[in-house]
Amino acid sequence: MTPSPDKPKFSGKEALALHRRHAWQPFTQMKLTPDPYVIGRAEGVYLYTTEGKSIIDAVGSWWVNVFGHNHPRINNALEAQLHKLEHVMYAGFTHEEALELGGRLSAASGHALPRVFFSDNGSTAVEIGLKMAFQYFVNQGRTEKKEFLTLENGYHGDTIGTMSVGARSVFHEMYLPLLFDVRQARAPFSPASNRGDRKRESESLEEALADLKSVLERYGERICGFILEPLIQGAGGMNIYPALYLKEARRLCDEYEVFLIADEVFVGCGRTGTFFAFEQAEVWPDIMALSKGLAAGYLPFAATTATEKIFQGFYSDDRKHTLFHGHSMTANPLGCAVANAALDLFESENFLEKTRVLEREHEKRLMKLREGKLGARISETRFLGTVGVVELDLKQDYTGDFGWKFWRGCLERGVLLRPIGPVIYLTPPYGISGEELDTVYGVLEETALAVLD
């Protein structure tokens, strides 16, 4: 029997003792971090600690939760699948949920990306895309095309390969000796201080495109793939840039025979107001990585989709042309069933419309925030789809550890917000109500003022 959520398995003291003795958490200096909250259950946008405290999940639990927690239709789909088939190896076998999901993901791109390779997390989905781009050319005997081009400031995951194509940030500089070299192009947005200034913004876009062109001119013959996060660079600071960049990047990649790899792990599945962020550019990439919201934030699940052309580069009588990649839990039926249920929700409950409503709700509240007491400390606000961003100007007179004081301060006030340096962002479940958003923005303002005081 499962324990009743109202009767915690451990007392507060026991839970902390176990945590302190055994836990090792991601991106966490275990010696310096305060004790965690123990979450016992969740519902909609709310997390509940085992001691009964409620917390609004304004970041969708690290950007994965798109429909809210404990969603009845997702729960039902998961449970139904559980009683049918929990897992089977995905070589020599397939199953109904993988068959259905492959067809539906292909249809979501108008069949521009009809080939679907399943895996189980975002970093892996990206690495698979890198291997596809690289090996496509190797299979053709074009071994000179073995380099990758990336965008400055990008983030693609924490494995060795994805760190290599990501920015050499403080997160990853430790591992520098393990990483392979990549080419880098300038990011298509201006520094926060210039944003809102249309002239400077369009200059930045033009400069980024000129830089991309010149890198491709010089090194295009050696480059197999250009990887980027479409429309929003997430972990790099929630930087939003125009779809025009993607459109031009598509054209340049075609010109230099470079595969365009879209890392839609964060921006996919409705996050930016369209199902895929790339739709806003009205062109398609050659390869796309999806995870996070793909299985509604319920299960570790991912997919890498590709064009038929790329697939045909591996489809051969020569066994050496096989894509040598796989994971034990590839195409897990529970993950596939949840992803199919998530697609049902997009279709039947019009979640895409909700993402566009949310965009307007962010816009209103961000404007109010700029006009309020915190306004003087804000260097920029920005938004796209379900993502709202407040960038603070901390350089002048603040030296303390803002991010983590703010994070804890908000939690004490019942809201989960976890800034990236001076960048406070909201990535809530798409169905968050106006009232809940008011609470989140209110706590954001109050806590930022308290910490900055």
Ligand X SMILES: *Cc1c(COP(=O)(O)O)cnc(C)c1O
Question: What is the C-alpha separation between 365 and 224, in angstroms, rounded?
Answer: 43
Part in contact with ligand X (CB under 6 A); list of ranges 122-130, 328-336, 393-401, 418-426: 122-130
In angstroms, what is the minimal distance from the CB of 64 to ligand X? 8
The tokens for 80 are: 């139904």
Rounded (to 5) percent helix, strand, coil in the chain? 45, 15, 40
- Interface with ligand X (CB under 6 A), residue from 97, 147, 248, 263: 263
Tokens of 412: 């004490």
Contacts of 296 (CB under 8 A, 6+ apart): 65, 66, 67, 71, 74, 338, 339, 341, 342, 345
Window 291-330: contact mask with ligand X (x via CB under 6 A): x---------------------------------------
**Which residue is closest to ligand X by CB?**
122
Closer of 48 and 189 to ligand X (Cβ): 189
Q: Does 151 bind ligand X (CB under 6 A)?
A: no
Nearer to ligand X, 271 or 362 (CB): 271
Q: Where are the alpha helices (DSSP H) in 110-184?
A: 122-139, 160-165
| Candidate segments 118-126, 180-188, 304-312, 372-380, binder of ligand X by CB under 6 A | 118-126
Q: Angle of helix 198-219 relative to helix 243-255, nearest 10 degrees?
A: 20
Binding ligand X (rule: CB under 6 A), the pick from 102, 157, 388, 429 is 157
Written as one letter, the residue type at 417 is L
Nearer to ligand X, 165 or 424 (CB): 165
Cβ of residue 221: shortest distance to ligand X, in angstroms? 27
Q: Judged by CB, which is closer to ligand X: 263, or 279?
A: 263
- For 326, the 3-state DSSP assignment is coil
Separation between Cα atoms, residue 156 and residue 233, nearest integer Å: 10
Q: What SS3 state is found at 92?
A: coil
Task: State the Cα–Cα distance between residues 115 and 105, nearest whole angstrom.
Answer: 9
HSE, CB side, 13 Å, CA atoms: give it for residue 15.
14
385 binds ligand X (CB under 6 A): no
Q: Does 156 bind ligand X (CB under 6 A)?
A: yes
Structure tokens belonging to residue 360: 């307007």
Determine, following the binding rule CB under 6 A, whether residue 234 of this chain makes contact with ligand X: yes
**276 three-class SS:** coil
Question: Is residue 266 part of the contact set for ligand X (CB under 6 A)?
Answer: yes
**DSSP designation for 280:** G
Query: Would you call 147 helix, strand, or coil by DSSP?
Result: strand
Among 81, 121, 305, 332, binds ligand X (CB under 6 A): 121
C-beta closer to ligand X: residue 269 or 366: 269
- The torsion region of residue 282 among left (phi > 0), alpha (psi -120 to 50) and beta comes to left
Q: Which two tokens stand for residue 39?
A: 């979450």
Binding range to ligand X, per CB under 6 A, among 13-21, 121-129, 171-179, 399-407: 121-129
The span of 4-12, 218-226, 228-236, 386-394 binding ligand X (CB under 6 A) equals: 228-236
Q: Which of 119, 123, 332, 355 binds ligand X (CB under 6 A)?
A: 123
The 3-state DSSP class for residue 426 equals strand
Report the residue from 45, 133, 265, 389 that binds ligand X according to the rule CB under 6 A.
265
Taking the complex as a whole, how short is the minimal distance between the CB of residue 289 and ligand X, in angstroms? Answer: 7
Residue 125: CB minimum distance to ligand X, A: 7
Per CB under 6 A, 231 contacts ligand X: no
For residue 225, state whether it binds ligand X (rule: CB under 6 A).
no
Which chain residues interact with ligand X by CB under 6 A? Answer: 121-123, 126, 155-157, 229, 234-235, 263, 265-266, 291
